[in-house]
Structure formats: structure tokens, C-alpha cells
Amino acid sequence: MKKLIIFFAIGIFIYACSNNSNQNSSTSSRNSSSKATTSDYDPKRGEGKHDKVELGDKLDAKMAEEGKTIANLKCASCHKYTDEKLVGPGWAGVSNKHQPEWIMNFITNPDPMIDKDPELQAQLEICLVRMPNQNLSDDDARKILEFMRQNDGVK
């Protein structure tokens, strides 16, 4: 929790700085997704505020159930829960393939990651549709991650 708070604090600080530097006297400008150099991009963690995601050894079934409800509304239009590709890739195996931090960052912060992540750029060449930002809260995202784990056989 402490870590999370520190991370938020840093986040706000960075945001405040970037806002400031973009101000000028008569007109203001704000960029939503700043294109930083990709050199500091960590392809294991992705980019976003999720630095460390704690997973339980066992599945939190209630959480997974709630995650499924959210996924049915916001994700299932494009993702099947099998390995079959629809608009985007199927979800089978996704929680084994990626770090939880990467998943949480990607689904809450898709646009900057699509611009930088080598695997996402390769996916974009296949799908040609950028994954929409579905405005998931951190809580929503964590529940969806739990559902992905359930989908991948975690009991």
C-alpha cells in the first residue's frame, strides 16, 4: 500500500511538471500521451502506474466472477475467452504469458503502450484496430485479471 502511495505521489509530481512546462503565456497546450523515448520502456512491466501487482496463490472466486461481468460488457466484443482470435487475440493463456503488471498497465493505459511495446506493435499489424481505452478503474482491471487467471485454470 505504501508503495502504491509513493507511486501515486511520483505520478502526480510528474504530471504537474509536464503540465507546467507546457504552459505558455497566451495559449496553453496539453498532451494526453507524451511520446517518450522507448529506451526506458520495460517490455516486461509495460507502462502505467501499476508497478507491483500482488497475486494470491489461490483464485479469489468472487473477484473473478465480478471480473467476468465487467469483461462481458467491456471486452468480450473483441476478445473470446478461448484461443480463437476475434477482433483481438483470444484470452486463453494470457495470464501465463504476461506479467500481471503488464496486463494491468495495458488494459488501463493502452494507447501509450501500443505506441511502444514491441509485441503490441506486432499485434497491431495483425489486428489493425488499436485496443480501445475502455476506462477501466484499477479495481475493474484487477478483477478482470483475476478472471483471466480463472480462465487459465487457476483454482
Nearest distance, CB of residue 31 and another protein, angstroms: 8
Applying the rule CB under 8 A, the residues between 116 and 135 that interact with another protein are 128-130, 132-135
Region near another protein per CB under 8 A, out of 6-14, 52-60, 66-74, 143-151: 66-74
* 82 part of the interface to another protein, by CB under 8 A: no
Query: Collapsing DSSP states into helix, strand and coil, what is residue 47?
Result: coil
Q: Give the single-character DSSP code of 38.
A: G
For residue 45, give every residue at least 6 positions away whose Cβ sits within 8 Å of its Cβ, in sequence order, or none: 51, 99, 101, 102, 105
At residue 37, what is the residue type? T
* 37 part of the interface to another protein, by CB under 8 A: no
Where does 8-149 show beta strands of DSSP type E? none
The residue ranges that bind another protein (CB under 8 A) are 24, 26-31, 72-74, 76-78, 86-87, 128-130, 132-136
